Structure 1
């Protein structure tokens, strides 16, 4: 899998399970070790690559430990300090990282709560960890522009020099983006004044400020949406493109091609969709009888349901487009679309599909059964 797919899979796992994680040790096992192994590609069970409870005596402080040290090329390259998921990360939490950074060869220190990862280096003074991170990776809202830099820290593509050389720019760009994001959500007085005085000719009084605060927020949101749509339309080849945003990961897609229809005007399920349905059915047959797994086609996607109930979606097959996706669902039935190259790639997400069915069975979700369309596709086994 590419790093984008690996991070998306971990993001889905974090979203599903973080509510049940109550300790730092559970955070390590559930989220941080998968990050080190699945995303970065290091063998967490090989002490030559990943050293848990790493010790390096610092001055008068003896026996202090840092949660993980990651080695590459025979040298300690990454230091990782873990806090409990949902705990906010503060620089005060990084005291051990500061001390260890000065006495090891590591140039990258990571402070994380399993969901947010703050990456530090020594831009301000050699061999002294900076007080501010140069990169912040938040699995609750993945910024895919950061993934190429993250890839440079993976086992297969490790390139420390490139990371360090880009760190200065990343540090300030990241901080500027966070400042802008904060201003768009809750603009400060100076920001409101700056924009208002560009369009309003009267005095900037308290009444005017209160009038323009919601207008600034609304205008900023509309501006961002318009910019995103314009970029996507250009990238997808014309004004007839649209953006589909699920409750999970935003996905840009072209307008679906015309679906084949039969003489009655009903949508015909394609051979590729039938194959995808059979794969999903084969995966979840360990949880339920195959007779309970039903396909229901629509004009834009092919749905796979439990008990023919649209409140129990198992998967959505977005195959009628140049870029294919498998739609999976979390405990709130919010959809996340995972890119696939071929229907056989569905097998990579077998555990997620089984978990979805298991959740319906144990939680009793969806008592209401919605009848299927009058015309069902005929699926030959």
Structure 2
């Protein structure tokens, strides 16, 4: 949680200052060094964070990487920085050369906002072309914070990070491919589903038709799953609220169930038995109202009869379990609300 708060504070600082930052050097001091400090490394200790670290390659001298982070006298991470306005896609070749020379297992390319971590999964001592960890610090999410935390000084373990890097890298790549397929399905992707759904010959015309169908089906599936999750969360909250709002049942001695209430109950049963077994429709009288429940569950009210006061009401419930009191002149008027009562049953079923 502390790391998350520190990253959030740095993100807020970036939003406030970035338009005033003009140079690469300013980017380093305002954005990158604070990030390194958040990871627990002392940016003022030259044995821990080394600026302008020498990375000479063969006869080519004077090559320097912006920062090297050391642990136990060995470089564990080299950092190449660019101006926050620059596109990082054109700069990883420079870091590629540095990685080979410095013998580290990890390198970081950043412009203070985007962060890309690399290692050598595909070939030893040769930096992979694609990062295994990538994030925008201004929009970093909780699951990404857990990955960043592994680079913290107190947690840093080479083997642990490398073991996890492969999963991160290829999961990220698969997610990217899925996103691309959802936008513009490839021929192979469409054929995979067309082969299983269509029994005829897959002509060019059929494939073109299925391209649109596959795209639509996948997007609808994702939307439905999102809606299901939202509805489940809403229903859970509504049930909790309903449970909290359930009125405490009065002592039995204070409750008098009238014949009029029982007659009203029988009318409700007559309406609801079209969709429910009679055994599931239960009445529970209180001093304030006569409640009719599904499965004798306070969290599943079917309706309420308010017959003891000067005015009579039928309490009906919407899909969020909010009660609306409808005035009635006699219990026979309950039949006028047949649709509302049956809809309440549908909401539970």
Which TM-score applies when normalising by structure 1?
0.54
For the residue of structure 1 that corresponds to 2:62, the secondary structure is coil
For the residue of structure 1 that corresponds to 2:45, the secondary structure is coil
CA distance in 2, matches of 1:223, 1:14: 37
Residue in structure 2 matched with residue 70 of structure 1 by the alignment: 69
Per the TM alignment, residue 42 of structure 1 is displaced from its structure 2 partner at its CA by 1.9
CA distance in 2, matches of 1:72, 1:18: 31
Residue in structure 2 matched with residue 172 of structure 1 by the alignment: 170
Structure 2 unaligned runs (5+)?
243-349
Residue-by-residue CA offset, 1:79-111 (whole Å, 9 max, x unaligned): 011223343323x52334233323334211111
Per the TM alignment, residue 168 of structure 1 is displaced from its structure 2 partner at its CA by 1.7
> Is 1:4 the counterpart of 2:4 in the alignment?
yes
CA distance in 2, matches of 1:85, 1:79: 18
Match of 2:144 among 133, 143, 146: 146
Q: Using a 3 Å threshold, how does the CA distance of structure 1 residues 52 and 176 change in structure 2: closer, same or farther?
A: same
Per the TM alignment, residue 187 of structure 1 is displaced from its structure 2 partner at its CA by 3.3
Per the TM alignment, residue 119 of structure 1 is displaced from its structure 2 partner at its CA by 1.2
CA distance in 1, matches of 2:132, 2:98: 18
Report 1:154-233 matches (<5 A).
154-196=152-194, 198-199=196-197, 216-228=214-226, 230=228
Residue in structure 2 matched with residue 89 of structure 1 by the alignment: 88
Per the TM alignment, residue 19 of structure 1 is displaced from its structure 2 partner at its CA by 5.1
What is the RMSD computed on CA atoms of the aligned residues? 3.5
Residue-by-residue CA offset, 1:36-58 (whole Å, 9 max, x unaligned): 122x2222222222222222322
8 Å Cα contact 1:232-1:241 kept in structure 2: no
For the residue of structure 2 that corresponds to 1:152, the secondary structure is helix
8 Å Cα contact 1:101-1:127 kept in structure 2: yes
8 Å Cα contact 2:8-2:138 kept in structure 1: no
Residue in structure 2 matched with residue 240 of structure 1 by the alignment: 235
Which TM-score applies when normalising by structure 2?
0.58
Match of 2:131 among 130, 133, 154: 133
8 Å Cα contact 1:24-1:85 kept in structure 2: yes
Structure 1 unaligned runs (5+)?
243-253, 259-381
Residue in structure 2 matched with residue 58 of structure 1 by the alignment: 57
Residue-by-residue CA offset, 1:20-47 (whole Å, 9 max, x unaligned): 5443233323322222122x22222222
